[in-house]
Each structure stands twice: as C-alpha cells, then as structure tokens.
Amino acid sequence: MENLTAEEIEKIEHEISLVPVKKAACIEALKVVQQHRGWVSDESIKAVADLMDMSPAELDSVATFYNLIFRQPVGRHVILVCDSISCWVVGYENIREYLTAKLGIQYGQTTPDGRFTMLPNVCLGCCDHAPALMIDNDLYKDLEPNQLDEILNKYA
C-alpha cells in the first residue's frame, strides 16, 4: 500500500465510510488518486484494490468502463469533446476539427508541451445546448469554433 500517500488513504477511507459496502466507493477512490496524480497507474490500481477488498482486475475493469478515470498519463488539462447524438446532429465535428488543427493532436493524444489531452466523451448532459465540451471541470455549451481560441487561452 506504500504507493498511496497518507492523505490519499485518509480521503479514500472517508469515501468508504459514506457507503454501505466498500466496493461502492471504488469510483470515488479512483477519483481521489486521479486528483492527486492526474491519472491512475497500475500500481495505484493495485493499492486502491487492496483498500477496497477488490482484485486489481475487478477494479481495473471498473476504471476502464468509467471513462473519466484516466489509465494513462494526461496533459495538465483534459478536453472532453461530446460526440453523442445531439452534438453529432449539430455538427460537433467542426469543434473537433478546429481543436485538432489548432492543437495538432487527435483524440487520445497530448500536446507536446503537456498542456492539453483531447478525448471523446459520451453525452455531457446538456443536449439542448449542443455542441458541448468540457475542459477539466468546466462545461462549455452552444459552441462555435470561433469561440475556442478564447476558451483555450484560459488554460495555461
């Protein structure tokens, strides 16, 4: 368990205390690690699985299913581009293409300066304001490509 810091363990144990069975806190536990480290390594999966009384394989399958848990290193900021139906209908491709050209990265890639990683994402829950994307915890709606430079400039 030496992979986790005392602070991480304390936060994870707090999450466990809020639910009836340990496993129910597994996503929150992974989020704690991600908040501290930016992503969740194999070693962290093993350490968290120990705490949750789960096998690493079981926890890994949850982490892989939940697409906001990053299993590979990501940039300082993560851009989640919604590609679900409402955003697709109103042409989210214009947003993705602008970002790809501007940042020089495809989905799953990180800019060479480590500033942004861009990922596709399922519905961000604001279909009536499509197209939408999220950067870190900030949601942007009713997007036009010409708004993107100003948005990106907020993230160093």
CB of 140 to ligand FES, least distance (A): 11
Q: Which of 82, 118, 143, 148 binds ligand FES (CB under 6 A)?
A: 82
Do residues 118 and 109 make contact, with C-beta atoms less than 8 angstroms apart?
A: yes
Residues 29, 87, 134, 143: which binds ligand FES (CB under 6 A)?
87
123 interacts with ligand FES by CB under 6 A = yes
Residue 139 binds to ligand FES (criterion: CB under 6 A): no
Binding residue (CB under 6 A) for ligand FES from 132, 135, 143, 148: 132
130 near ligand FES, judged by CB under 6 A: yes
Task: Write a three-state SS string for 23-88.
Answer: HHHHHHHHHHHHHHHCCCCHHHHHHHHHHHCCCHHHHHHHHHHCCCCCCCCCCCEEEEEECCHHHH
